Structure 1
Amino acid sequence: MSVFRGPRWAYGALAWLIFFVVSHVLLVFFPGDDPTGGGPWGMTAYTVLNVVLISMSAVGAAVVRATVRPWARHLPQWLILVPLWFGSVLLVLRGVPGMAESLLMVTGIRRGGFVGAQDISTGEFWAGIGINTYFFTGAVLLVAATISYARRSTDGGKKGSSDRSE
């Protein structure tokens, strides 16, 4: 069996998306002292951004779950693949540069990353690396889940396509 044929990638991406949704719901209800980071936007923009992220991720979780459920076999393939590819592109655009930034930080080439100050605290340093690693992990999981679904759904009943019902 190919690495990208099983449903395990979908379950990993689903767990990642659920964690993302829960963490952003908590950020909306418990924003902290200055959630806007001193920027020109206010709490309304902060809340709207988080609600949009929560909504997109919740839909993404439903779509990822559909890739491994029997009831989704009756849906057109494009209805599942389009949001999967869209989410994959978004996470790659956030995750890959973030991982490159983490590499700059860890190697000491640029302690503050691409645009950060060089004199960041140890907490900021590790928080940045943790967040970047988190998004890179999400990108890997969602891209792999997308490829897995695309391969399994084009099998047309061949060996390995039974993985969809697990």
Structure 2
Amino acid sequence: MIYKKWSAEMSSVRSKRTWPGYVSFVWVTVFILFHIYWAFGGRFGLGDASNPIPPLPTSLSEWIYFYIVIIMFAAGTIVPLATVQSWGRFIPRRFIFIACWIGCVVLILRGGAGFVDDFFRSTGLLPNGITGLTYEQIFGDEHISTYTLWSSRAMDGYFFLGGILYGLAAWFYHNRK
């Protein structure tokens, strides 16, 4: 009887400490599935812009960037699970912790930059945003629809959410004994 109660309490404590790792994994899985869907011609979530998906790389620097992103996808899938799965013990804790924080920072910067860029464009303070690019250069259309604009904002929010989740995964992982 005492064992069952203790076991249930420990399980509850462990689940409270591991949920960010699992939720981060779900987040990155959805992220990757959407990219696969878009690669096969899917359009949901991209708005109705003429050219929402960038073309394949053509220069060496673009190919290098492309493969760095692929590696980040792979690491971003493995790292959150490594914070909660037993096989994660075979990876140095410091590596997992730092990788989670890097994911957090990159995703928050990506989402936050999108919000800031959109703010400056929408208010007219910087007609080309902080990137210096016009809507036509970004989306392929000079005038974009509200649907495209909100799709872009939703993506920025999704990146920002991912950053928060990776930060929580790092925090809980670091504080777990």
Q: CA RMSD in A?
A: 3.4
Q: CA deviation at 1:137?
A: 0.8
- Which moved further from structure 2: 18-27 or 63-72? 18-27
**Aligned residue for 1:145?**
169
Contact 1:99–1:136 (Cα < 8 Å) also in 2? no
Structure 2 CA distance for partners of 1:145 and 1:17, relative to 1, 3 Å: same
Pair 1:126 & 2:150 matched: yes
Q: Residue 56 of structure 2 aligns with which residue?
A: 43
Structure 1 CA distance for aligned equivalents of residues 70 and 158 of structure 2: 16
Pick from 73, 87, 92 the counterpart of residue 57 of structure 1. Answer: 73
Q: Secondary structure at the match of 2:17?
A: coil
Could you say which residue in structure 1 is the equivalent of 2:5? none
Distance in 1, matches of 2:118 and 2:17, equals 30
Alpha-carbon separation, structure 1, partners of 2:124 and 2:110: 19
How many residue pairs are counted as aligned between the two chains?
Answer: 144
Alignment of structure 1 residues 93-104 onto 2, 5 Å: 93-101=109-117
CA contact (8 A) 1:63 1:80 kept: yes
- Give the C-alpha shift of residue 65 in structure 1: 0.2
Q: Match for residue 39 of structure 2?
A: 28
SS of the residue corresponding to residue 44 of structure 1 reads coil
In 2, the alpha carbon distance for the partners of 1:84 and 1:13 equals 10
1:3-31 residue CA offsets vs partner (Å, 9 max, x unmatched): xx611111111111111122222333337
TM-score by length of 1: 0.67
Instruction: Name the TM-score, length of structure 2 as normaliser.
Output: 0.64
Cα distance, 1:61 vs. partner?
Answer: 1.4
Structure 1 or 2, whichever has the larger Rg, is: 2
Aligned residue for 1:159?
A: none
Aligned residues of 2:108 and 2:160 also touching (Cα < 8 A): yes
Q: Distance in 1 between matches of 2:124 and 2:19?
A: 36
Q: Which runs of 5+ in 2 are unaligned?
A: 1-11, 44-49, 136-141
Aligned partner of 1:11 in structure 2 is: 22
2:119 pairs with 1:109: no
1:69 and 1:137 map into 2 onto residues whose CA distance is 22
Provide the identity percentage: 26
Q: How far does residue 75 in structure 1 lie from its aligned partner after superposition?
A: 3.1
